[in-house]
A and B are shown apart, each in its own frame.
Chain A
């Protein structure tokens, strides 16, 4: 999924990297703490706002730690396994369970390794699209800003299927902060059907959709 060269300008507050890992296994717990201790000292202000994109790959000061470690390996394994699955709207899958558990366990560190995978041209578009939906649905406070940012980036994908996943992810997230990026995406969109879907979600975010008004995630 190649991305257009666009600077990311929005400034968002840093996410919390102090969360408990939630692992019972002391080996995993210790491993995570080792990684976390470095990130706390050097990288406490790093999050998606500082990530710069060069031809679809992510470069940040955390990337060396994340990409060379166990988390990177685990994330790649989750995405590789997902290629074998057939996804259905509204149905849990091994992929949705794995990626949700991964993010719930490792929070921001998980997002650091997931972002380059999702935005990579090498990732299967069906899997990337599904990942966007899952990220939108996920109820996880710590990574909220990262996920919102990533979903907005997904609107720039060259793959219609991935853009569709990003639209749905934003629909699930239901955050009015996505209104401006969505409006911009509507102007860019060349596929009429997709543009219509975007407009539908825009109406939802603006509170014009029949039913309840746009709601902010209270867990932010």
Chain B
């Protein structure tokens, strides 16, 4: 079964809150499911997760600073079971191959979005790639020519210098 990936902030979904009833969801988790025009962006991940690192790298260079990347991975059928519609659409990241793995969950009502949040909490794998892992993945994607260097959004000279150093050690 293939997966869908949604970038999140892990600590909004995991951890213990003494005040939070069991199986309930932190309200902050909904910050990770911000919709635009009632659509939510997701990426398709192969059943063997072979394209996961490439997607993570593309997401990473779409931010202003190198960072950890947290994400939820859930089976594609979770979406259909909730009656949520999904449509293929081109992503807008620096890796065109990754852009082809993009879809939008669309025509989302508030209740469907909440159902999705609960499904993610219950069924998704919530994972983190640490900052150093992300730097390595970005380096690999640059070495492999997957990421368009001109579209990397990191701007700080020290970040770019660090990236170049890693590329030099890995290529």
Measured CB to CB, the residues of A under 8 A from B are: 86-92, 126, 129, 133, 137, 139, 160-161, 164-165, 168, 171-172, 174, 190-191, 193-194, 197, 200-201, 204, 209-212
A–B Cβ pairs within 8 angstroms, 30 of them: A88-B9, A89-B7, A89-B63, A89-B68, A89-B70, A90-B65, A160-B16, A161-B11, A164-B10, A164-B15, A168-B131, A171-B68, A190-B16, A191-B14, A193-B10, A193-B14, A193-B126, A194-B15, A197-B128, A200-B133, A209-B130, A209-B133, A211-B132, A211-B135, A211-B166, A211-B170, A212-B132, A212-B165, A212-B166, A212-B169
Inter-chain contacts of A164 with B (CB < 8 A): 10-11, 15
Which of B63, B69, B126: most chain A CB closer than 10 A? Answer: B63
Is B38 positioned at the interface, with any CB of A under 8 Å from its CB?
A: no
Q: Which residues of B contact A209 (CB under 8 A)?
A: 130, 132-133
Asked if B128 and A126 sit within 8 Å, CB to CB, the answer is no
- Of residues 63 through 111 on chain B, the ones whose CB sits less than 8 Å from some CB of chain A are 63-70
Interface flag for B148 (CB, 8 Å): no
Other A-B contacts than A89-B63, A161-B15, 8 sampled, CB-CB below 8 A, are A88-B9, A92-B64, A168-B67, A193-B126, A197-B128, A201-B130, A211-B132, A211-B133
The answer, among A90, A165, A191, for a CB contact under 8 Å with B66, is A90
- Check if B35 is an interface residue, CB within 8 A of chain A: no
| A168 in contact with B169 given A194-B15, A211-B136 (CB within 8 Å) | no
Report the nearest B residue to A211, measured CB to CB.
B136
In the complex, how many angstroms separate the beta carbon of A95 from the nearest chain B beta carbon? 13
* B22, CB-defined interface residue at 8 Å: no
Q: What range describes how many residues of B lie at the interface?
A: 20 to 34
Of the candidates A89, A210, A211, which one forms a contact with B9 in the assembled complex, judged by CB atoms under 8 Å apart?
Answer: A89
Q: What are the 8 A-B residue pairs with the smallest beta carbon separation, nearest first?
A: A90-B63, A90-B67, A160-B15, A211-B136, A92-B64, A164-B11, A193-B14, A89-B67
Selected contact of B16 from candidates A89, A92, A191, CB within 8 Å: A191
Given the complex, which residues of A lie within 8 Å of B126, measured CB to CB?
A: 193
Min CB–CB distance B17 → chain A (angstroms):
8
Given A168-B131, A212-B132: A193 in contact with B15 (beta carbons within 8 A): yes
Whole-angstrom CA separation of A190 from B15 in the bound complex: 10
Q: Which residue of B lies closest to A96 (CB)?
A: B65
Contacts of A129 in B (CB 8 A): 11
B11→A91 contact, CB < 8 A: no
Bound state CA distance, A171 and B67, in angstroms? 9
Asked if B152 is an interface residue, CB under 8 A from chain A, the answer is no
Pick from A87, A91, A193: contact of B64, CB below 8 A.
A91
In the bound complex, residues from chain A placing their C-beta under 8 Å from that of B131 are 168, 171-172
Q: State whether A137 touches B65 (Cβ < 8 A).
A: yes
A165 to B12, CA, bound (A): 12
A161 CA / B29 CA spacing, docked (Å): 13
Shortest Cβ distance from A134 into B: residue: B65
Residues on B with beta carbons closer than 8 Å to the beta carbon of A139: 156, 158
Q: Which residues of B contact A91 (CB under 8 A)?
A: 63-65
Chain B: CB-nearest residue to A125? B11
- Chain B contacts of A174 at CB under 8 A? 132
- The reply to whether the CB of B116 lies closer than 8 angstroms to some CB of chain A is no
